[in-house]
Chains A and B, each alone.
Chain A
Amino acid sequence: MNLTLKIWRQKGSNVKGKLVAYNVADISEHMSFLEMMDVLNEQLVNSGEEPVAFDHDCREGICGSCSMYINGRAHGPDGGITTCQLHMRTFKDGDTIIVEPWRAKAFPVVKDLVVDRSAFDRIQQAGGYISVNTSGNTQDANAIPIPKLNADLAMDAATCIGCGACVAACKNASASLFVAAKVSQYALLPQGQVEANDRVINMVDQMDAEGFGSCTNTGACSAECPKDISLENIARMNREYMRAKAVTK
Chain B
Amino acid sequence: MSKLDAKIPEGPLKDKWNSYKDKIDLVNPANKRLIDVIVVGTGLAGGSAAATLAELGYNVKAFCYQDSPRRAHSIAAQGGINAAKNYQGDGDSFYRLFYDTVKGGDYRSREANVYRLAEVSTNIIDQCVAQGVPFARDYGGLLDNRSFGGVLVSRTFYAKGQTGQQLLLGAYSAMNRQIARGKIEMHNRHEMLDVVVVDGKARGIIARNLVTGEIERHSAHAVVIASGGYGNVYFLSTNAMGSNATAAWKIHKKGAFFANPCYTQIHPTCIPRSGDYQSKLTLMSESLRNDGRIWVPKNMGDVQAIRDGKKKPTDLTEEERDYYLERRYPAFGNLVPRDVASRAAKERCDAGYGVNKTGEAVYLDFKSAIQRYGKEQAKLLHMPDASPEKITELGEKVVEAKYGNLFQMYEKIVDDNPYKTPMMIYPATHYTMGGVWVDYNLMTTIPGCYAIGEANFSDHGANRLGASALMQGLADGYFVLPYTIGDYLSHDIRTGKIPTNTPEFEQAEREVKEKIEFFMNNKGTKSVDHFHRRLGKIMWNKVGMSRNEKGLKEAIREIKALREEFYKEVSVPGSDQEMNQELEKAGRVADFLELGELFAKDALDRNESCGGHFREESVELAGEQKGEALRDDKNYAYVSAWEYKGEPSEAVLHKEELKYENIELKQRSYK
Contact = CB atoms under 8 A, between A and B. Distances in A.
Nearest to A81: B412
A39 B176 CA distance: 38
A136 B123 CA distance: 5
B316 interface: no
Contact of A130 (B173, B280, B478): B173
Contacts of B126: 136, 138-141
A42 B529 contact: yes
Contacts of B169: 158
Interface in B574-628: 574, 578-579, 581-582
B513 interface: no
Given A60-B76, A125-B179, A148-B138, A134 B127 contact: yes
A28 B277 contact: yes
B68 to A, nearest CB: 5
B479 A136 contact: yes
Interface string A94-129: 000000000000000011001011101100111011
A111 B578 contact: yes
B134 A126 contact: no
B177 A131 contact: yes
A189 interface: yes
A146 B174 CA distance: 22
A57 B66 contact: yes
Chain A's interface size range is 35 or more
B131 interface: yes
B29 interface: no
A248 interface: no
B132 A192 contact: yes
B571 A45 contact: yes
Contact of A65 (B48, B71, B142): B71
Nearest to B477: A134
B180 interface: yes
Interface residues of B, number: 82
A58 B240 contact: yes
Interface stretch (B157-165, B429-437, B438-446, B464-472): B157-165
Contacts of A30: 274-275
B238 to A, nearest CB: 8
Contacts, number: 218
A57 B73 contact: yes
B167 to A, nearest CB: 11
Contacts of B69: 121
Contacts of A131: 177
A126 B173 contact: no
Contacts of B525: 46
Interface string B151-189: 000000001101001100100111011011000001010
Contact of B127 (A12, A126, A136, A146): A136
A58 B73 contact: yes
B63 to A, nearest CB: 14
Interface string A171-215: 000000000000001100101100000000000000000000000
Nearest to A65: B71
Q: Is the interface of A mostly helix, strand, loop or mixed?
A: loop
Contacts of A133: 55
A132 B130 contact: yes
B129 A141 contact: yes
A61 B409 contact: yes
A53 B76 contact: no
Most B CB within 10 A of own CB, among A60, A131, A147: A60
A48 B85 CA distance: 57
Interface string A23-36: 00000101110110
A215 B275 CA distance: 44
A170 B169 CA distance: 25
A157 to B, nearest CB: 8
B485 interface: no
Interface in B51-94: 51-52, 55, 66-71, 73, 75-76, 85, 87
A57 B134 contact: no
A59 B412 CA distance: 12
Contact of A64 (B70, B132, B530): B70
B579 A56 contact: no
Interface string B476-507: 00110000000000000000000000000000
A120 B176 CA distance: 11
B385 interface: no
Contact of A60 (B66, B177, B409, B579): B409
Most A CB within 10 A of own CB, among B71, B578, B582: B71
A159 to B, nearest CB: 6
Contacts of B528: 45
Nearest to B171: A134
B326 to A, nearest CB: 29
B661 interface: no
Given A51-B582, A63-B71, A151-B136, A139 B415 contact: no
A121 B176 contact: yes
Contacts of B280: 59-60
A135 B124 CA distance: 10
Nearest to A139: B126
A126 B180 contact: yes
A11 B582 CA distance: 15
B277 A31 contact: yes
Contact of B137 (A81, A148, A185): A148
A151 B128 CA distance: 14
A134 B76 contact: no
Contact of A134 (B52, B241, B279, B527): B52
A222 interface: no
A76 to B, nearest CB: 12
B68 A134 contact: no
Given A62-B76, A136-B479, A189 B134 contact: yes
A186 B581 contact: no
Nearest to A141: B129
A232 interface: no
Given A46-B525, A81-B412, A110-B211, A35 B73 contact: no
B282 interface: yes
A236 interface: no
Contact of A146 (B71, B137, B180, B282): B137
A229 to B, nearest CB: 13
Given A30-B274, A39-B277, A191 B129 contact: yes
9 contacts: A35-B277, A59-B279, A61-B409, A124-B172, A124-B173, A125-B180, A141-B143, A146-B137, A151-B137
Q: Nearest 5 CB-CB pairs, A to B?
A: A145-B141, A129-B173, A155-B134, A138-B130, A136-B123
Interface of B: 48, 51-52, 55, 66-71, 73, 75-76, 85, 87, 120, 123, 125-132, 134-143, 159-160, 162, 165-166, 169, 172-174, 176-177, 179-180, 186, 188, 211, 240-242, 274-275, 277-280, 282-283, 408-409, 412-413, 415, 478-479, 525-530, 571, 573-574, 578-579, 581-582
Given A46-B527, A51-B581, 10 more contacts: A39-B277, A51-B573, A57-B242, A114-B579, A116-B67, A121-B69, A124-B173, A136-B127, A145-B141, A148-B138
